[in-house]
Amino acid sequence: SDGVQTCALPISNSASVTIIVQDTTPPTVQITSGPAEGSTTNTRSVTIGWTGADNGTYPSNLLFSYRLDGGTASPYLNQFSNSFTGLVDGAHAVSVLAQDQHGNTSPTPAVRDFTVEATPPVISNVLATPGLQQCLITWMTDKPASAQIVYGTTTNYGSSTALNAQLVTSHS
């Protein structure tokens, strides 16, 4: 519809008053779930959730259109989340617009920016320096990474060092 609602109110047997209300207020939209704003994820698939508010349309009746990285926008649908798969490493942005039952569209999209970093580091320069009671293992990675060594006397290993969560390129 065009945002115009009419209502006829009888005031006597032969007369009535018609009230015309035109909704020109656009809905708002906000992103409610997914990777945190500005965060980095190590997965190539993310789900972004959203909701909206409007002065004349229940939130459950709003329609939403979303787009990834400025690509083609989806049609307006009564859909409150979407999964984006096959994401490549790098920066990404999901933007969402809302539309109410009268065709008013939010003037500014809700945007969620995040980075995908799902390619594992390349390990190089592995060096084992044996000692009497221990062995020092050192290695390099092509990008900052955490480190943990899994070891044992058989190929089943069975032991591991504590995880060093510090992101570095030189490890020991």
pLDDT along the chain (172 residues), means of 10: 58 68 90 97 97 95 98 97 98 98 96 95 94 90 92 88 93 91
pLDDT at position 133 is: 86
pLDDT for residue 3:
54
Q: What pLDDT, on a 0 to 100 scale, did the predictor assign at position 135?
A: 87
Return the half-sphere exposure (C-beta side, CA atoms, 13 A cut-off) of residue 11: 6
CA angle 99, 105, 108 (to 5 degrees): 120
Count of beta carbons in the 10 Å neighbourhood of residue 67: 16
User: Of the candidates 128, 105, 119, 135, which has an alpha carbon nearest to the alpha carbon of residue 25?
Assistant: 105
Report yes or no: 44 and 38 within 8 Å, Cβ to Cβ.
Answer: no
pLDDT at 9: 62
Check: CB of residue 22 under 8 Å from CB of residue 4.
yes
- Please indicate, yes or no, whether the overall pTM of this predicted structure exceeds 0.85: no
